[in-house]
Amino acid sequence: MYNEKILDHFMNPRNLGVLEDADGIGVLGDPACGDYIKVYIKVTDEHISDIRFQIAGCPAAIACGSAMTELAKGKSIDEAAEICDADILEYLGGLPEEKAHCSNLGAGALQNAIVDYMIKSLQQSHNHVVVI
């Protein structure tokens, strides 16, 4: 049912955990009734320098979250914003048709974390006082 790469990412998820000083946080799903993911990003020089995730879900969802972090780490914000479910599926070598929707979790939560980072960045830039 699952290929070796999916099983490896499920059994040994990369970048699992919390980033206490995250620059952006994104969530997707509903913890009360199904798969749920929370993504934390640290941004340095407009690149994702660190990324972590927490997840409650099936093996496919966990593997997709892990794969998403590997795809995003080191990428510029613009490059990471383009990561989609098809990229995650390709990276993992595909998923069974009934599990393909799991790739949406990682990509969507990453997008939400990037939006959160951008909003916080804009708010910080508006809080600076320029003295002439």
Catalytic residues: 33, 102
End-to-end alpha-carbon separation of the chain, Å?
A: 65
Q: Give the other-Cβ count within 10 Å of 71's Cβ.
A: 21
Q: Give the other-Cβ count within 10 Å of 124's Cβ.
A: 9
**Residue count (the chain):** 132
Which residue is listed with tokens 């660190």? 50
Question: In the chain, count of helices (H) and strands (E)?
Answer: 5, 3
The sheet that has 47-56: what strands, in order across it? 24-29, 36-44, 47-56
Q: How far is CA 24 from CA 41, 44, 113, 121, in A?
A: 5, 12, 5, 9
